[in-house]
Chain A
């Protein structure tokens, strides 16, 4: 009764969960696509495109991707044989257990007329498939908890996935092992199937089962006489063998039973078979019901992602389909962290200790943002920094075993955050190179916005100091201001020859450079010499510097002009960080 009720309940929750998540695939957006689309528009567009693919030559690519990347998972194999083996064991072990064992009465029975779980090959195979899953789970546990692999992050979703599999498989082996040893099971089966036996014959059967089939019973004692065993064997062949292959076929369960034998009698009387049965099927049903909300959803979303990206042409895909695919991709991530293992910007993570810089850690916040969750200011800033500190090298995209088009995901999500989020100083660096190359894809009025925000953030305190109407305050600044770390004050060698400004191509580009740039390089050196560091930090020159080193190369006094401009940039950014820290600590917008 409990079994049936919980089965239907979990199935209902499972299907409702799938419908809910499937719904989000057409409703939510991970990024910026230029236009707003309705869920039904997206649904029908996706359907149309899928049908177009299926009824075209592209079906070959689709099937290829299915066989090679979904069934055989060659993308994982490319990275690591161990990981591939681990996942194949779990994947195939579980699928085969699902169809042969869990759905045995439906699937196996339909295919093979003599199906009984206790007959071979099913009896042996059930144990083998279970061991495959267990072996995979053991490797997973070792990888995630014992091997200190840098940047391999493990979160609660990962722990749940490993945990539920472990519980299902281990309870399965324990259940089977205990059933093999169980006197109660034996008695029930004997009553049902060998009711004609006399007491003497029954005892002979029991002895045979204790001797040969792993049964534990205090009612018969060793040593058994040969003719008793013979009698028992005959009874077995008449009444049991039709459904029962030797218990040793289920080698792992049998061994489990053997190990538990000393306590098996007590466990039997305490009803452990029943308890484990409940644990086993309830854990399966909980796993099933919770599936759409857990990492296990990837069994649907990952194959879809792999196949979609095998046939979707980045240049020709409709934006609504890209939007849909990207939400599916967020669900397809299995947090394997391969992307983070190879991320080119990983040292940026080491320097700034912002986990969102790692690609694997960007997925969860993007999911939260797509779901419309409100994140506090500090969190949003961290996510924006994380998603911007990326060199667009595409490595993550190349290695992702789930076939996620991370490159495009970052580009779309990044633009959305840049437009809607706080100022990000990182945009004032060559990390904006690719955004610049793609500027025609961003609407002309929104393209400059992130740059304006960032420029304002780094200069708002200092640029007013450049107002030509202001008098310059020459009070010597506090000594500690000059001691910025690593700041070589070679500016003190400057004797004002203006060589630097003369050779600067940026200065040379303008009719009236001082209007555009605030201060020219030689004026910046002069300002620093006068102790006007903050005034210098307000000059747009430092951010329009090409870092071409012409100034530093041609300085006759070895003033390290370019390096000094770098230091001024660092100080300006530090001012932004400091300001934000103070703002957060003062109770900001939490």
Chain B
């Protein structure tokens, strides 16, 4: 049984709670044990734009808390993952800022030795659980379902730091989606940023970037987006809904979180998966499920 400290950050519990419930249910079925550390705080990603010390202190505190319990971290949010990995990378070097951060951490009765492994849950599912084991747990598979897979940015890049997948031709998320029977379509600007980091600072630019992605996904005849990050999900779901409200004619392309997609084919109930909690209706995903397993 693999045991991890479960890091879900700030966006998921407050704005995308279904991501947490669905992920817990799915990971449980694969024997991944999750420990909750209540003292976890923000990973520091939103502060990184303006205050390097605040960002580092926030991330390192979480790493130290996990290290204190002798646990590696399992992360659900790409931005948290990127922030933690970048913090780990910065702390691996020596410097006055690193000393200051360590000093503060030690004042709090914790320590950070760089021992905590930071893992994205998709990596755990892909490398540790394995596609074969995942397929064994499926009750149903999807038929003729086109998915536009959204890797996001902060797990893929900078690849020397995150070491998540090939940054130019990644495949692990596509393979995970394909394991459920769905087809991961090839769409232009697939690996581009969803635009969420600019929400609140440059909303017009953020919306433009999203619209380009939406166009490309529709052109590739995708039925759904599939995300692995709450920021991407909020951009594709909440913000897309806002944009659709403004342009009455536009037909939205709904977005499903990966644990929801996988969980549904594993027969986990839609209440736990929070299928009704997404802003854009994803209920038609169930119509793609076929009883015969491939």
Contacts and interface: CB of A to CB of B under 8 A. Distances in A.
Interface of A: 150, 342-348, 350-352, 389, 391-395, 425-437, 439-440, 451, 485-486, 505-506, 509, 543-544, 546-550, 552-553, 560, 562, 566, 569-570, 573
Nearest to B198: A546
Contacts of A509: 205, 208-209, 212
Interface string B176-203: 0000000000000100110111111111
B50 A426 contact: yes
Given A351-B53, A393-B11, 14 more contacts: A347-B41, A392-B10, A393-B10, A427-B200, A436-B201, A437-B234, A437-B238, A543-B201, A546-B193, A547-B48, A547-B154, A569-B49, A569-B50, A573-B50
B158 A391 contact: no
Contacts of B39: 342
B95 interface: yes
Contact of B10 (A391, A451, A549): A391
Interface stretch (B25-33, B54-62, B123-131, B220-228): B54-62
Q: Which of A389, A430, A569 has the most CB of B within 10 A?
A: A430
What's the dominant secondary structure at chain B's contact region? helix
B44 interface: yes
Given A347-B42, A393-B14, A544 B198 contact: yes
A579 to B, nearest CB: 15
Contacts, number: 166
A560 B157 CA distance: 12
Interface in B220-247: 231, 234, 238-239, 242
Given A344-B42, A505-B192, A505-B209, A550 B157 contact: yes
A523 B247 CA distance: 37
A562 B202 CA distance: 18
Q: Which of B51, B199, B201, B206 has the most CB of A within 10 A?
A: B201
A348 B13 contact: no
7 contacts: A393-B14, A431-B47, A436-B199, A436-B206, A509-B205, A543-B201, A546-B153
B159 interface: yes
Given A342-B38, A505-B193, A425 B153 contact: no
B57 A345 contact: no
A543 B205 CA distance: 12
Nearest to A349: B54
Interface of B: 9-11, 13-15, 38-39, 41-42, 44-54, 57-58, 61, 79, 95-97, 104, 108, 153-154, 156-159, 167, 189, 192-193, 195-203, 205-206, 208-209, 212, 231, 234, 238-239, 242
A552 B197 contact: no
A498 to B, nearest CB: 18
A425 B54 CA distance: 14
B104 A429 contact: no
Given A394-B14, A552-B157, A570 B199 contact: no
A393 B8 CA distance: 11
B203 to A, nearest CB: 6
A490 to B, nearest CB: 12
Contacts of A506: 205, 209
A239 to B, nearest CB: 63
A486 B201 contact: no
Contacts of A485: 95-97
A543 B44 CA distance: 18
A430 B108 contact: no
What's the dominant secondary structure at chain A's contact region? helix
A429 B41 contact: no
A509 B159 CA distance: 24
Contact of B49 (A345, A429, A486): A429
Contacts of A434: 200
B157 A344 contact: no
Q: Which of B153, B212, B231, B239 has the most CB of A within 10 A?
A: B153
A342 B104 CA distance: 18
A428 B199 CA distance: 10
B52 A570 contact: yes
Given A393-B42, A505-B209, A348 B58 contact: yes
Given A347-B54, A347-B57, A549-B157, A389 B200 contact: no
9 tightest A-B CB contacts, nearest first: A432-B200, A436-B200, A549-B157, A393-B10, A429-B49, A430-B46, A548-B193, A436-B199, A351-B54
A206 B53 CA distance: 75
Contacts of B157: 548-550, 552-553
A136 B4 CA distance: 39
A389 B205 contact: no
Contacts of A566: 48-49, 52
B158 A549 contact: yes
A486 B50 contact: no
A546 B231 CA distance: 12
Contacts of B198: 544, 546
Contacts of B13: 393-395
Contacts of B167: 553
B108 A562 contact: no
Contacts of B49: 428-430, 547, 566, 569
B199 A437 contact: yes
Nearest to B100: A351
B53 A440 contact: no
Given A436-B203, A440-B242, A430 B193 contact: no
A440 B243 CA distance: 11
A548 B51 contact: no
A391 B234 CA distance: 15
Contacts of B206: 436
Nearest to A395: B13
A432 B11 CA distance: 13
A23 B195 CA distance: 47
A437 B50 contact: no
Nearest to B10: A393
B197 A486 contact: no
Contacts of B153: 546-550
A550 B193 CA distance: 9
A201 B152 CA distance: 97
B50 A344 contact: no
B209 A429 contact: no
Given A437-B234, A546-B193, A150 B201 contact: no
Contacts of A549: 153-154, 156-158
A486 B54 CA distance: 15
A569 B97 CA distance: 17
B197 A430 contact: yes
A505 B153 CA distance: 12
A393 to B, nearest CB: 4
B196 A544 contact: no
Contact of A351 (B51, B189, B205, B234): B51
A206 B54 CA distance: 73
Contact of A432 (B189, B199, B212): B199
B202 A431 contact: no
Contacts of B58: 345, 347-348
A426 to B, nearest CB: 6
A352 B51 CA distance: 9
Nearest to B239: A437
A428 to B, nearest CB: 6
A431 B96 CA distance: 26
A432 B39 CA distance: 24
Contacts of B48: 429, 547, 566
Nearest to A447: B203
Contacts of A389: 47, 54
Contacts of A348: 42, 47, 51, 54, 57-58
Contacts of B208: 509
Given A437-B239, A553-B157, A566-B49, A428 B10 contact: no
B66 to A, nearest CB: 15
